[in-house]
Structure 1
Amino acid sequence: MLFTPPLFALPFPNIDPILIEFGPFAIRWYALAYVGGLLIGWWLAKKLCASPALWGGKSPIEPEEFDDAIVWVAFGVILGGRIGYVLFYNLPYYAGHPLEALTVWHGGMSFHGGFMGSILAMYLFTRRRSLSFVSMLDIAASVVPVGLFLGRIANFINGELWGRPSDVPWAIVFPHGGPLPRHPSQLYEAGLEGLTIFIVLQIAIRMGALRRPGTVAGLFVLLYGCSRIFVEFFREPDPQLGYLAGGFVTMGMVLSLPMLALGGWLIWRARRRPALNAGQPA
């Protein structure tokens, strides 16, 4: 069945991806999304750790610990995100052009790679400081949606990672996406992976989820996996990969499936553990 483009489509807002330029140096919205996500996440994480009522007593992580943890997480996200993209999405190209793997400023980051990199960074940090690894995961998971929201907005500004051709009234003709209007899938991801998950996690935290370590992390992983798989039905797959099977399965779906099992296991395990500070006044 042939796709019939609609008579009207929304124009791309054509926002300059470069915010400010100083000679050869440029500050891009995409870089600001990473920096802003990390800084806002760091601030929110410290606020959570400084709120005994959310833990039913003393937090297992002191707020000051995040002054150092943020550096570890930043390296984990950036290195993991780049390595994940190279391995999962474009290995044949980078095998022939290994130096290109270092050019992060040209784009190409994988959430799933950054996710694994940040977990490894937090594990190493908590082990070095003799802190609760699972509680650190909970705190990090509660603020990650902020970075996801900003990052997907930056993807939209860059006019990248667009959706599949569509005739919905809000379809957009992207500058580098050909003549057909497409789903603004970056905005779908910003709304689901960012805003919606953030709200759900904050509600869960206010209902005492931090008192059972692993609950918040499990919720995030489970909800992200569901959100990403759903959005992949609207997002155009990477051209070098295309569809992996059946004309609809994408690499994003494949990498998200294990997250469903991991999230469910974390929640199940958390519910079997005694609550933190049980019997102590908040």
Structure 2
Amino acid sequence: MEHFLYITWDPSDTAVSFGPLAIHWYSMCWLVGLALAYLLVQRLYKEQKVKEGLFDPLFLYCFIGILAGARLGHCLFYQPDVFLTSWRHFIEIFLPIDISDSGSWRFTGYRGLASHGGTLGLMLALWIYVRRTKMNVWQVLDNIAIATPVTACFIRLGNLMNSEIIGRITDVPWAFIFERVDSMPRHPGQLYEAIAYALLFFIGWRIYRKQPQRVGTGFFFGLCLTYIFTARFFIEYTKEVQEAFEQTLPLNMGQMLSIPFVIIGIACMKGGNWMKRLADLAAGNKKK
């Protein structure tokens, strides 16, 4: 084994501190990812000459939808036995605090966000946005899909900085030794995902520059779902299970939740008329 190539990983979880106020790398990565997506979609809206005043509400809907969905997804999919068994843990679902048995509390930030839940939250937020603005639902979904991989990439980099969602023990020469966890060389599953999502962004952006007319057909939305969750399905094989109950399952929770998104993505890429009718109905558009 090429032990000398292993990367010893134990960075500080604090990116910037101002006295008692500390900004963690995970929060920083989320903010950078969302900011880049904001700028990208803003540019797309301008290039497509979307009516002014329709963009800023989109960012607000997406931010709330992703954060709420990701938090609820983690708590309900992965740790229902913790967050649904006592009132204080139930409160911790919604507030970024840790409540002790004595009733005292401390600020911790949201520790535990699930990408599948974030995707569902985003889709719900976009459905509300489309109903209110009467925009073409496929145009909105495609534009968001072009920018989404950037955010996904930075979120996984945040996981890497936190030494969380670690990989299985391995002897590959690029293995990481996550010192906060143990001294064993492991797959950097977070880095695998970050690289995969960065590649998806460049693929999607390249296709958009060459074929901008595809925006509004559902192609980019379908490509994003299919690529991200197919990559997620296979990369899960390099990760340690996150919760004990997954040990008894043929597929882990991340893989099982990925399958429906891949199916939806393929259907959207094919652009069937039934998908368009369903989307128009969801948006409240009664035109034929």
* 1:32 equivalent in alignment to 2:35: no
Q: TM-score, normalised by structure 2?
A: 0.83
Q: What is aligned with 2:6?
A: 10
Q: Aligned residue for 1:185? A: 189
**Is the aligned partner of 1:237 residue 2:241?**
yes
1:171-182 equivalences in 2 (<5 Å): 171-182=175-186
Q: Which residue of 2 aligns with 1:50?
A: 46
Residue ranges of structure 2 left out of the alignment (5+ in a row): 97-108, 277-288
Shift of 1:43: 0.8
Tell me the SS of whatever aligns to 1:241: helix
**The residue matched to 1:243 in structure 2 has which SS?**
helix
SS in 1 for 2:262: helix
**In structure 2, how many angstroms separate the alpha carbons of the residues matched to 1:102 and 1:199?**
35
| Root-mean-square deviation over aligned CA pairs | 2.1
Residues 142 and 220 of structure 2 are in contact (CA less than 8 Å); yes or no, is this contact kept in structure 1?
A: yes
1:188 deviation in Å? 0.2
Distance 1:217 1:109 in 2: 22
**Any idea what SS the aligned residue of 1:196 has?**
helix
| Contact 2:10 2:180 survives alignment (8 Å) | no
Q: 2:80 aligns with which of 91, 103, 114?
A: 91
Equivalent in the alignment of 1:280: none
Report the residue type matching 2:181 in the other structure: G
1:76 is the counterpart of 2:65: yes
The 8 Å contact of residues 212 and 270 in structure 1, kept in 2 or not, is answered as no
Cα distance 1:9–1:244, how it changes in 2: closer, same or farther (>3 A)?
A: farther
Structure 1's 63 and 177: CA in aligned 2 closer, same or farther, altered over 3 A?
farther
Q: CA deviation at 1:166?
A: 0.3
Q: Is the 8 A contact 1:162 1:184 kept in 2?
A: yes
2:128 to 118, 124, 141: 124
Question: Which residue of structure 2 aligns with residue 168 of structure 1?
Answer: 172
Q: CA deviation at 1:267?
A: 1.3
Q: CA deviation at 1:100?
A: 2.5
**Matching residue of 2:229:** 225
**Partner residue of 1:23 out of 16, 19, 26:** 19
Aligned with 1:267 (options 257, 266, 269): 269
How many residues are aligned here? Answer: 259
Task: Give TM-score, length-normalised by structure 1.
Answer: 0.85
Where do 5+ consecutive residues of structure 1 fail to align?
Answer: 53-58, 274-282
